[in-house]
Structure 1
Amino acid sequence: MRPRSLLFTIFGEYVRHYGNDIWIGSLTQLLGAFGIREAAVRVAVSRMQRQGWIVGEKHGNRSFYALTPKGRKRLDEAAARIYKFGAHRWDGRWYMVQFSIPESERERRDELRKELQFLGFGMLTNGLWLSPNPILSLVHDYVEEHGLKPYVEFFVAEHRGYADDRELVRRCWNLEEIEAAYRRFIERFRPELDRLEGRDPKWVPNDEEAFVLKTILVHEYRKFLFIDPDLPAELLPDVWAGDEADALFERLYQALHPASLRHFERVYEGSAAQVKR
């Protein structure tokens, strides 16, 4: 696992619930459990600072790092999708983003495409992206923040074309590829759940082992944010591996959660404790 990506998982899963900041010494100890060296942690922290996800602050001779508003917003959005289990009902409407950004603004155009993909939009044509989920407000916020209003329009529509809605989905997303990724996730973590539940035989991890495994679990599950558009049940195949993966994630997460938190709390130190001294 790359240090920067793992830091996002640590901040999203733990730090944002514990005062929003953490001492660099705690970070290096936590990531050390994954075999990541202190120098690599500091490089990743510096990169996240430059990109505006976290901000540093000194208390005495100690450095603490907190999520910026931008960082908290992105991790809050991710959490809302990670911990929402089961497909939702669809209102039959498509939420569409149309944009035409000139070649001179190619970098900003590419960043908008990445944002749309992260939010779960699929590309119907080069400048027309759609989602069955009512999340245009998230795109609107991004467009406003990045000064793209002259180039972007929003639409809410019902499909009245020749293909059915599931065919439209197949044009916009590679469901076979997503399904295969879910199968790999299940193959990776099903044995861990079996061990915990006593079928292999029963395994009782210590607190650090639980912390490492739960963090890896969340880290791997978080990757589906970038490939799974969170489609409602009406648009999915009748048998969908994502449902099995969701149930596996929830059971294993809950089994590891108490011991994992104990380890984090033993290692964690935030700036509030430093100020009290």
Structure 2
Amino acid sequence: MPSDPFTQNKTALLALGGHRVWSLMVTLFGDLAQEHGSTIDGPTLSAVMAEMDIRPEAVRVALHRLRNDGWISSEMCGRTGLHALTATGHHETTQASARIYASPAPPSESWRLALTQDAATSDDMIARGFLTLLPRIYLGDVSTRAPSDALILEGTPAPDWLRAEISPLMLDPEYAALLPILQKVEQTMQRGMLTPLQTAVLRCLLVHNWRRIVLRHPALPAALLPDDWSGHACHKLIDTLLARFPRPTLSVILPS
């Protein structure tokens, strides 16, 4: 059994599942190389992925896919490959980062219910930031913009039964699975105890497990969620841990 805290926590984060190599790579570039002009060289990328127990052939396949998708560009500098986000990859990463790295919002009691004329507008309402409660009925933050022909009702204090019904729609079981692992990381790992390579790996796994949940539901005000909704605690811990382990400089990740 692994004994050091880094290995234990890395193993627990990897065990949550949902870790396609190309998706992990998207998280890694979004966390370490989002600034314009930033590149990750081949040896550094290989070292980070190897520390996450990913085989070299899987890394090559993932890079090939992301290049074909127009997400990552690669070029040679001498005998070393340099990889960077494309304009498309950078744009989509920046949009997602606004949600992924947002600090926990102060509790808000303001919300709204929207009733639309046609159930076919569901995709549009979700894109606007609403949660589908029932066909044609949506819930959202008071600032969420609805179509001009929608009926808007400003929310009164939400009853407990409604908040309980919303909780599973906001992926509470998945947050509940992540929460004890984040708590373990917070309890067992302190700033300064990791190498730059380990820090890059830990951040990637923290951000990846967080983003694969948080990007799948809208940001609803606390008034619509139970006090014990696991997403609240996960958000606070992610914010704490990313501040505790700031992203390392790319040039120092690979041991010399």
TM-score of the alignment, normalized to the shorter chain, above 0.5: yes
Matched, 1:9 2:3: no
Report the Cα offset of residue 194 of structure 1: 1.0
CA deviations on 1:73-94 (whole Å, 9 max, x unpaired) are 2211221112223345465445
| Structure 1 vs Structure 2 CA RMSD | 3.9
The equivalent of 1:239 in structure 2 is 228
The equivalent of 1:109 in structure 2 is none
Counterpart code for 2:25:
L
Report the Cα offset of residue 18 of structure 1: 6.4
The equivalent of 2:183 in structure 1 is 190
The equivalent of 1:85 in structure 2 is 103
Counterpart code for 2:44:
S
The percentage of aligned residue pairs carrying the same residue is 25
Question: Could you tell me how far apart the structure 2 residues matched to 1:116 and 1:20 are?
Answer: 35
The equivalent of 2:45 in structure 1 is 27
Q: Normalised by the size of structure 2, how large is the TM-score? A: 0.71
Q: Normalised by the size of structure 1, how large is the TM-score? A: 0.66
CA deviations on 1:160-209 (whole Å, 9 max, x unpaired) are 89xx68877777x5537622222221211212211125xxxx99333333
Structure 2: runs of 5+ lacking an equivalent: 1-18
Change over 3 Å in CA distance of 1:225–1:242 after alignment to 2: closer
Provide the secondary structure at the position in 2 that maps to 1:56.
Answer: strand
Superposition map of 1:90-105 within 5 A: 92-93=111-112, 100=120
Report the Cα offset of residue 26 of structure 1: 2.8
The question of whether the paired residues in 2 share the 8 Å contact of 1:159 and 1:165 is answered with no
The question of whether the paired residues in 2 share the 8 Å contact of 1:56 and 1:63 is answered with yes
Counterpart code for 2:230:
A
Counterpart code for 2:141:
P
Structure 1: runs of 5+ lacking an equivalent: 102-111, 138-152, 269-277
The equivalent of 1:71 in structure 2 is 89
Question: Could you tell me how far apart the structure 1 residues matched to 2:99 and 2:142 are?
Answer: 12
The equivalent of 1:108 in structure 2 is none
**What is the aligned residue count?**
234
Question: Could you tell me how far apart the structure 2 residues matched to 1:42 and 1:96 are?
Answer: 48
The question of whether the paired residues in 2 share the 8 Å contact of 1:211 and 1:261 is answered with yes
